[in-house]
Amino acid sequence: MPDQPPPSLKEALRSAIWAQSLTPEQMARVEADTFETFVPKGGYVCRKGEMVENWLGIIDGMVKMNNFSRSGKSVSFTGVPAGGWFGEGSILKNEILKYDAMALRDARIARMPAATFMWLLDSSLPLRASC
Q: What is the pLDDT of residues 97-116, one digit of tens each?
A: 989 999 999 999 999 999 99
Query: 0.85 cut: is pTM over it?
Result: yes
User: How many percent of the chain have pLDDT more than 90?
Assistant: 74
Under DSSP, is residue 87 helix (H, G, I), strand (E, B) or coil? Answer: coil
Nearest to 33 by CA among 91, 114, 126: 114
Instruction: Give the CA distances from residue 51 to residues 22, 89, 90, 102, in Å, rounded to whole numbers and listed in that order.
Output: 27, 12, 8, 16
Q: How many CB atoms lie within 10 A of CB 116?
A: 18
* Range list of H helices, 4-66: 9-15, 24-33
| pLDDT surpassing 60 at residue 73 | yes
Q: What is the pLDDT of residues 34-66, one digit of tens each?
A: 999 999 999 999 999 999 899 999 999 999 998
Which domains, from first to last, does the chain contain? Answer: 9-125 (2.60.120.10)
Write down the mean pLDDT value for the chain: 90
CA-to-CA distance for 124 and 117, rounded, in angstroms? 10
